[in-house]
Amino acid sequence: MTDPAPTTAQDLGIAPAPAPTAPATPVVPNMSYDDAPVAKSQRMADPGWRRRYMKGGIAEKAEMDHLTAALSPRQLMPSDPSSVEQVIDHLRERANISEQVANQIRQNLPISAPEQLKDRLFRDREWVKRYLDGGIQEAETMALINVNLSLPVRVGE
């Protein structure tokens, strides 16, 4: 009678692979808005840290996410819809904001500089008339705005 053929790694004398472990969650200290620019500059000036971050280091990514959050503008818009509408009404009293901008405010979406410029230009009847009449400067301006709005944002170099 012959022995059965080995069927498992253990039968072959191979030690089982260790169970996979999740990477440790990096501990990132609390960071104030005022301290974050200095900390970010220090991190990016460190070639080893910067290399690990650019290669997708978990701890470095978590730290950069934390720094970026600390650098982000504070939430200025109220959270309840009636207060948001009051803010929009106030803005409309002081400036002629478009419905598109109002909707971005309602959805708490960022409004880029090109979007602001395009909105302002299209509310200027004289500018719109020159643009529709084939004004070269107006066409160039609109082309640059549209290019800026359609291209992806470049992050770092």
State pLDDT tens for residues 85-123: 888 888 788 767 778 878 877 877 766 778 778 888 888
Residue 58: what pLDDT?
A: 85
> What distance in Å separates the CA atoms of residue 105 and residue 109, rounded to the nearest whole number?
6
pLDDT in tens, 115-154: 778 888 888 889 989 989 999 998 888 888 877 777 665 5
- Cα distances (angstroms) measured from residue 93 to each of 76, 86, 96, 97, 116: 19, 11, 7, 9, 17
Average pLDDT of the chain to the nearest whole number = 74
Residue 15: what pLDDT?
A: 62
146 contact partners, CB below 8 Å, separation of at least 6: none
Residue 63 CB coordination number (10 Å) = 21
Residue 78: what pLDDT?
A: 62
Residue 31: what pLDDT?
A: 66
Q: Is the pLDDT of residue 62 over 90?
A: no
> What distance in Å separates the CA atoms of residue 75 and residue 110, rounded to the nearest whole number?
11
Here the contacts of 105-111 (C-beta below 8 Å, separation 24 or greater) are 105/77, 106/81, 108/77
Q: Which of 4-8, 56-60, 80-84, 141-145 has the lowest mean pLDDT?
A: 4-8
Q: Where are the domains of the chain?
A: 36-71, 75-109, 112-150
Roughly what angle, to the nearest 10 degrees, separates helices 47-54 and 58-71? 100
pLDDT in tens, 1-31: 566 665 665 666 666 666 655 444 445 556 6
Establish how many alpha carbons lie within 13 A of residue 142's alpha carbon, considering only the half-sphere containing its beta carbon. 14
Q: Is the pLDDT of residue 73 over 60?
A: no
> What distance in Å separates the CA atoms of residue 141 and residue 128, rounded to the nearest whole number?
12
